[in-house]
Structure 1
Amino acid sequence: MYSSSSLLIALLAATTTALPAPQNNLNASLANPNYGPVPGESRTYVDYSKTAAPFPGNITGAILPTETGLAGPDDLLFQNLLSAEWAIFDFYQQGVEAFNVSSFTELGLPNTTYDRVMQIRDNEAGHLRIFQDSISNTSVKPGACTYDYGFNGNASVWLALQVSLEVISMAFLTGLVREATNLDTMSALVAIGEVESRHNTWALIDVWNQNPFSGPSDTVFPYANEILDLTRQYIVPGSCPAANPTYPLPRQNLPATTAVIEKAKGLVEFEFTDPHNQPDWYSEQRDRQYYAVYFHGVHNITKPFDTKTNTSAYPAEFDAGEGLLIAVIANEIDAPTLDSVIAGPALIIEQPIF
């Protein structure tokens, strides 16, 4: 079976090669919810099973509105979601185009693996349509950017990134439910989160040969835009349609953080990976206490953060090896407000273990 060791390699892979720029095709037909296949009323997004992108994945331009304001109560939420979904859909589309059945069977994986990848791609295309239709026709419907995931034709690295992106998807969908203003939006986010969970369960069982159960609850993280911000690393600079709003909006532009667990020492070491965006521990007061706040399941745990070593104690109270930990650096215990978070988030993926 496929080794989990390349997950870490994939997460650390640097993007090096710009992909061809997308067509800037502004297709107003997408503003019509009756144009093309409708999710739930057509099998296009279930079993399309062709290499070319299913509708609307082959239409990459932003849809220009008749006005510039946000008309619908949840338009901003769905704009952020649509921008994130373009990246996720494009990841799967690149995988469908780059690989074939033997790409995965040569890794010792089932001969159904490529078909499953295509089916997930089709699901993600349906998510695009759902999010597009959820934005009112007088608000901008963001189009696709160009994305570089750095897998360079390597199926092993692609599979590692796949499970990582599915975990990220569940994390931000759970958080975005808290931002919704109407019940239909909340229900839609939960329904799509359930589909993403199925995708991840398939990967854990068939690809990673691991137990898919991660305890009684997936992780709830209250600041979804901080998770969405992590997907910006895959965008080729300057490749997004000019009509697209800032993504995510609002954006904090926090110092990027990764977390390295040293369980033998009982420590977590944080690395701030952007040399141009480093935390300033002394901007408010030199003797201020900072904290590493770990979210897991429906709880969070706060540990003192040492600004000299960039370390905190490992949150051993949580179930070891189960699910996902999301860590941030905050200037208040429990990171109770958006403004209290000053760096992060760092995703500590415990399934698959790496």
Structure 2
Amino acid sequence: MLPISSCLASFALVTLATCAPLSGEQSLGPIPGQTPIYNDYRGIVAPFPGNISGATLPTARATELFNASSFTAAGYPNNTYDRIVEIRDNEAGHLNIFYREISNTSIKPGRCEYEYGFESQGVDFFLAEQTFVELSSISFLSGLVIQAVEDTSRAALLVVAAVETRHTAWALTNVWNTNPFAGPADTAYPWPNQILGLTVQFIQNGSCPKENPAYPYPSDQKAGLSFNGTFSTAHPGDKIQFEFPHGEPCFEEDKEYYAVFIHELNNVTQAFDTKTGVSEVSAAFDSNKGLIYAVIADKSGAPDLDSMLAGPLTLLQQPALLTTVIGGT
């Protein structure tokens, strides 16, 4: 079983805030492997009870807002809409899988309302946001493996992460016409609730039931970190200037601080100038592969949450085009 703190399925589901209170006999919708709906259903209505999560899935909302011609008119392959529907069905299946793995003592909050941004921005923004979420979810799920208690839960996390990787490979190849390979390993991030915390931006203020606990629960959030104030990227060997949009941490005058960069299974500590906010992304990383996470810490390597002062900041390595589509929002 997953630990009590983990009422979640996939990062792409924003699940911690969408879990509805369940009774022992309540149906969770179609069961993967026991119904063909996940293989051949291509309807608009989400294949999962809307009172639980169906209407809140980003892909579910996209299939309701857009149709096949929305994507072909924008220059995307003819099968793009069908693939998005299939991803939606996969995510609904993930929700079912993890409901079965979550401990009965876990907190299951009521549903909130969401705004993803693509509702007004269109299919380009949706595809960029969806790809970024898929890339991030791989790091999120790998971090949850550390928290899982039972071997069956670890196995479930592994196979779901594999499906997220297939989604990402499809998007990078068919949508973005770029190399889908991320090097010998995707980036593993050890504090998954921090990645989950990035989804707070999608929740409409005041829409959650007042009985809901804080989200994420528990919250591991640190001071916000940005790169020159934009959703942008930097590559191995680049010098970058960090900014703190919600207030700078309290840096002591005679103490050393570090910028710690996490890529694939590597953790590299770089010097950090507290006066200028400047550091350099490690040139040792594979170039143009996957994601790099950056945090500011008061100990080399940011060995634990207590040593982390700000972050994480996501530096997207592939595809670079995503930063053009999402940037400035």
**TM norm structure 1:** 0.78
Aligned-partner Cα distance in 1 for 2:29–2:238 = 54
Structure 2 counterpart of 1:43, one-letter code = P
Kept in 2: contact 1:33–1:133 (CA 8 A): no
Aligned-partner Cα distance in 2 for 1:224–1:261 = 21
Distance 1:160 1:88, change over 3 A: farther
Matching of residue 351 in structure 1 with residue 318 in structure 2: yes
Q: Secondary structure at the match of 2:57?
A: helix
Measure how far apart 1:32 and its partner are. Answer: 3.2
Matching of residue 121 in structure 1 with residue 114 in structure 2: no
Residue 295 of structure 1 aligns with which residue? 262
Kept in 2: contact 1:218–1:323 (CA 8 A): yes
Structure 2 counterpart of 1:272, one-letter code = F
Residue 172 of structure 1 aligns with which residue? 140
Matching of residue 226 in structure 1 with residue 219 in structure 2: no
Q: 1:156 aligns with which of 106, 124, 129?
A: 124
Distance 1:121 1:25, change over 3 A: closer
Q: Secondary structure at the match of 1:215?
A: coil
Matching of residue 52 in structure 1 with residue 45 in structure 2: yes
Q: 1:209 aligns with which of 174, 177, 196?
A: 177
Kept in 1: contact 2:259–2:271 (CA 8 A): yes
Q: Secondary structure at the match of 2:115?
A: coil
Distance 1:180 1:262, change over 3 A: closer
Structure 2 counterpart of 1:186, one-letter code = R
Q: 2:214 aligns with which of 246, 253, 256?
A: 246
Residue 240 of structure 2 aligns with which residue? 268
Distance 1:137 1:242, change over 3 A: farther
Kept in 2: contact 1:46–1:123 (CA 8 A): no
Kept in 2: contact 1:25–1:59 (CA 8 A): no
Measure how far apart 1:187 and its partner are. Answer: 0.6
Distance 1:106 1:145, change over 3 A: same
Distance 1:263 1:192, change over 3 A: closer
- 1:181-211 deviation digits (Å, cap 9, x = unpaired): 1111111111110011111111001100011
Matches within 5 A, 1:80-119: 90-119=57-86
Aligned-partner Cα distance in 2 for 1:346–1:88 = 29
Measure how far apart 1:138 and its partner are. Answer: 4.6
Kept in 1: contact 2:139–2:187 (CA 8 A): yes
Measure how far apart 1:40 and its partner are. Answer: 2.1
Aligned-partner Cα distance in 1 for 2:234–2:318 = 17
Measure how far apart 1:130 and its partner are. Answer: 1.8
Residue 326 of structure 2 aligns with which residue? none
What percent of counterpart residues are identical? 44
Matching of residue 39 in structure 1 with residue 7 in structure 2: no
Kept in 2: contact 1:257–1:272 (CA 8 A): yes
Measure how far apart 1:48 and its partner are. Answer: 2.0
Aligned-partner Cα distance in 2 for 1:233–1:262 = 23
Structure 2 counterpart of 1:192, one-letter code = V
Matching of residue 133 in structure 1 with residue 100 in structure 2: yes
Once the two structures are overlaid, the 10-residue window that deviates more, 245-254 or 176-185, is 245-254
- 1:225-251 deviation digits (Å, cap 9, x = unpaired): 111111111111111233433222221
Measure how far apart 1:52 and its partner are. Answer: 0.9
Aligned-partner Cα distance in 2 for 1:27–1:229 = 21
Measure how far apart 1:153 and its partner are. Answer: 4.7
Aligned-partner Cα distance in 2 for 1:251–1:335 = 18
Aligned-partner Cα distance in 1 for 2:157–2:55 = 16
Distance 1:26 1:95, change over 3 A: closer
**TM norm structure 2:** 0.84
Distance 1:47 1:342, change over 3 A: farther
Structure 1 counterpart of 2:46, one-letter code = A
Aligned-partner Cα distance in 2 for 1:249–1:25 = 13
Measure how far apart 1:150 and its partner are. Answer: 1.5
User: How large is the Cα RMSD of the aligned pairs?
Assistant: 2.4
Structure 1 counterpart of 2:64, one-letter code = E
Q: Secondary structure at the match of 1:41?
A: coil
Q: Count residues with an aligned counterpart.
A: 299
Residue 312 of structure 1 aligns with which residue? 279
Residue 10 of structure 2 aligns with which residue? none
Measure how far apart 1:273 and its partner are. Answer: 2.6
Q: Secondary structure at the match of 1:306?
A: coil
Distance 1:262 1:45, change over 3 A: closer
Kept in 2: contact 1:90–1:147 (CA 8 A): no
Q: Secondary structure at the match of 1:118?
A: helix
Aligned-partner Cα distance in 2 for 1:41–1:96 = 24
Kept in 2: contact 1:291–1:332 (CA 8 A): yes
